[in-house]
Amino acid sequence: MSELYRVYKEYGAGPIPRPEGFDPGSLDKNTRELLDEVYEVYGQYSAWRLPNMTHEEAPWRQVFDQSAPGRVIEHDALRDYFHTQPKTGGWWAQKANLRNP
């Protein structure tokens, strides 16, 4: 995640441009549906609101330590957390497959 932060931090609260040569049509149907739903749900929030929302959730609070930055939230912790959340729409349960790399 820190690599992604370094790549995109220059955009601050502004929009991130589409990568050159990216073709949304190259995505499979399930991936496209997942991304569309994520955008539909979270696209309304500002760049400042999104991290505030995630920082209120248990996986982030469990690893956060101001004196030791850079701790990683494990995929198992994310999966366990989201399995306890209401599945309104159920997009993540059906399409997101959180596995250890």
pTM attached to this predicted model? 0.57
Report the alpha-carbon distance of residue 72 to residue 63 in Å, rounded.
7
Whole-number pLDDT of residue 24: 86
Whole-number pLDDT of residue 86: 66
The type of residue at 1 is M
In DSSP notation, 34-66 reads HHHHHHHHHTTS-TTHHHHHHHTSHHHHHH--T
Residue 27 has pLDDT above 50, yes or no: yes
Instruction: Write down the domain spans for the chain.
Output: 2-95
Residue 42 · residue 50 · CB < 8 Å: yes
Residue 13 · residue 48 · CB < 8 Å: yes
Residue 34 · residue 96 · CB < 8 Å: yes
Higher-confidence residue: 83 or 11? 11
Whole-number pLDDT of residue 19: 85
Tally the C-alpha atoms within 13 A of residue 15's C-alpha that lie toward its C-beta: 5
Average pLDDT for 7-31: 88
